[in-house]
Chains A and B, each alone.
Chain A
Amino acid sequence: MIESGRDLLWCAAVLYTISFAFALSALVRNRLHNRPLFMVGLGIGLFLQSWGLYQRGMAVEGCPLGNPFEMIQFVTWSAMVLYFVIGPVFRMSLLGFFSAAMASVGGLASLAFPALDSEYEIGYFGGDAWIEAHAALAVFSYGIFGVLALTSLMYLSQNYGLKKQRGQGVFRFLPSIFELDQVNFRLLVLGVLIFSLSLIPGWAYWVNSQDTVTTFKLISTVAVWLAYLTLLIFRLLGQVSASRLSLIALFLFLVALLSLAPVDRSRYLPEQDGVENQEATS
């Protein structure tokens, strides 16, 4: 287990959890939470998480994406950054609540299982800025797909409330399905765009070092990308309804998260290039 930054990431996860519980307690009382207080909680959480990941990055001498723990942390961090960016633009009521829920669950779960934070060699990207950019962009796009999964969940909740004639509680505060559909579409476009961009340096690296990338990693990455791209094309052609798109986006995000494990397992192996193994950070 790599100790660097864990304390800060624990603090961030606890703050996300407190913020989530604070918003949830208001919702249970059929009210909307105090937004400034909630945002302060999330903001400090994001700051601590960024600091923790920065410390990690310094310790591993690269983007901290070397094990499942770091990937989950990076995905939740990306989702939270995105929330702070798109939240004010889209003015989506309860997006913060759902983002806090995801950051809280993701953060606590990744910290609770030390096995996820397996040790790995320092500088395992081999100092290649392009492959590091590929990894960072790809995982950031997963963050976008994470937010898309959240807005999809919000869409499905609102749709359920409307179909089942429920209007109280959480349904009262959720954004309209029209707005959620628009946001889903924009997030899908953004996610596919950034994922596609991430594949360019990844592809360039693969062309030159095919032996360092396993077929499984290649297939799972391309499959996730193709799945989201296909969903986007179907949406553009009007061939998929908003509720079906939400269901698929939610399912795809779970698949994408699961695909991170094989991607991690088959990561760049320095000994294959003859690069000396370095001792794992501790």
Chain B
Amino acid sequence: MKQDTTPQLIVYGTNHHQADMETREKVTLNASQVDLLYSKVKLKDHFAESLILNTCNRTELYLLEHQEPNFSEVRDLLSEVTDTPQEIWTQIEVSKCGADAVQHCLQVAAGLNSQMIGETEILGQVKQAYQRATNEGTAGKILHQLFQQTFRVGKWIRTNTSLGKGQVSAPTVAARLAERIYGKLDRAQAMVLGTGEMAEAMIKVLISEGLPTPAFAGRNRDRADEIARMYQADTIAFEHWKTKLPKHEILITSTLSSEWMLTESEIRKIMSQRKGRPLFIIDLAMPRDVEPKAANLDGVYLYNLDDLAKVANENLQSRQAEIQRCHEYVHQESAEIWDKIRDRYEASADSAVTSVESSGRSGG
């Protein structure tokens, strides 16, 4: 059979543009679900290449298919792995193919599709996803080409445009918010619950802004001790963190728990012990750790990832011209990259046909 000379490159999934936080909590993949999805994708022969990009704001599957793209099949896969009804996926899906998929990939890596437009963390996350796909053996020639070009474009935008200028990261937003609550950060005692990278990145910035050394608590006591040692901080036994919380002003939480770590009624009790002192809670977890209705309590300032992004994007208007310039650059680059991918794919398809024909001649 002659291979189709047009590469069927698709991206399917969802992100913060389509799905609100509550829905994202249901469809974000945990580590074992990523493993499961890779194993299922590998079983499908017509998926020639694949890559899973899974962050707290996006769950996307990049695929190169040997047949006409069938989005419903990918939807079935994600629905099965995340144990989420297909109807939900239909409502929140992002599905692109060909040049549009390339453009989407570039926009994501450049931070143009991020919740905090211009953030640079996403490029690292895309690199990690690519590394994982390479290790899994699911990234072949086309995805290699796509992602190498993606990194080049992402780096160019970061170096040659001022997209990141005026852009504030989640930790910086948190620091400014803490100042609006407590004035000086040295007045606030913080507790970090969970040992995730985001919490660590946040605490690093807050300490550099004057926050006293925080206390760490985590289910994994060894990991919590390890991080605490890095900051010469104390560790709180996981079973005691709630009783210690009333003495702290800031709680940064980023556990992997699928249940609320802190409910509204628990926070109400904690607030009654605080004699009117405000409590700043930064919930970086996905799914969230803190019951959202706690934000309505007097003296409680609860911020999740969406809330931090909302504050960070307040100055978007003044950056609009540069964002537009980056979009135009990405559009232009994606067209060129798509052409190259097609050329390469056609060349490989032709060589495959030639090799089949020559082996047929020699054989017969």
Contacts and interface: CB of A to CB of B under 8 A. Distances in A.
Interface of A: 158, 161-163, 165-168, 171, 174-179, 181, 238, 241-244
Contact of A168 (B276, B298, B315): B315
B303 A165 contact: yes
Contacts of A163: 295, 301
Nearest to A169: B314
Given A168-B314, A242-B276, A177 B295 contact: no
A17 to B, nearest CB: 29
Contact of A178 (B187, B307, B310): B187
A178 B301 contact: no
Nearest to A171: B180
For chain B, the bracket of interface size reads: 20 to 34
B182 interface: yes
A7 to B, nearest CB: 42
B311 A243 contact: no
A177 B277 CA distance: 10
Nearest to A244: B298
B181 A177 contact: yes
B299 A166 contact: no
B207 to A, nearest CB: 19
Contact of B183 (A162, A176, A241): A176
Nearest to A174: B180
A48 to B, nearest CB: 34
Interface in B129-184: 173, 176-177, 179-183
Contacts of B310: 165
Contacts of B277: 178
Contacts of A167: 173, 176-177, 180, 311, 314
Contacts of A171: 180
- Top 7 nearest A-B pairs (CB, nearest first) are A176-B183, A167-B311, A168-B314, A241-B298, A238-B275, A165-B310, A179-B183
B314 A178 contact: no
B196 interface: no
- Which has the most chain B C-beta neighbours within 10 Å: A158, A161, A167? A167
10 contacts: A161-B180, A165-B307, A171-B180, A176-B183, A177-B180, A177-B181, A178-B187, A181-B276, A242-B276, A244-B298
Interface in B222-250: none
Contacts of B179: 176
B278 interface: yes
Contacts of A178: 181-183, 187, 277-278
A114 B314 CA distance: 46
Given A167-B311, A176-B182, A176-B183, A162 B298 contact: no
A238 B180 contact: no
Given A177-B180, A242-B276, A242-B278, 8 more contacts: A162-B181, A166-B311, A166-B314, A167-B311, A168-B314, A177-B181, A177-B278, A179-B183
A238 B183 contact: no
A60 B44 CA distance: 98
A178 B277 CA distance: 8
Contact of A162 (B187, B301, B314): B301
Nearest to A241: B298
Nearest to B182: A178
Given A165-B311, A177-B278, A238-B276, A243 B298 contact: yes
Contacts of A161: 180
A242 B314 CA distance: 27
Contacts of B275: 238
A167 B301 CA distance: 13
Contacts of A166: 311, 314
A241 B314 contact: no
A165 B176 CA distance: 12
Contacts of B301: 162-163
Contact of B181 (A165, A168, A176, A243): A176
Interface string B175-208: 0110111110001000000000000000000000
B268 to A, nearest CB: 12
Interface string B248-282: 00000000000000000000000000011110000
A161 B177 CA distance: 10
B286 to A, nearest CB: 18
Contact of B299 (A158, A175, A242): A242
Contacts of A241: 276, 298-299
A239 to B, nearest CB: 9
A225 B177 CA distance: 37
A207 to B, nearest CB: 39
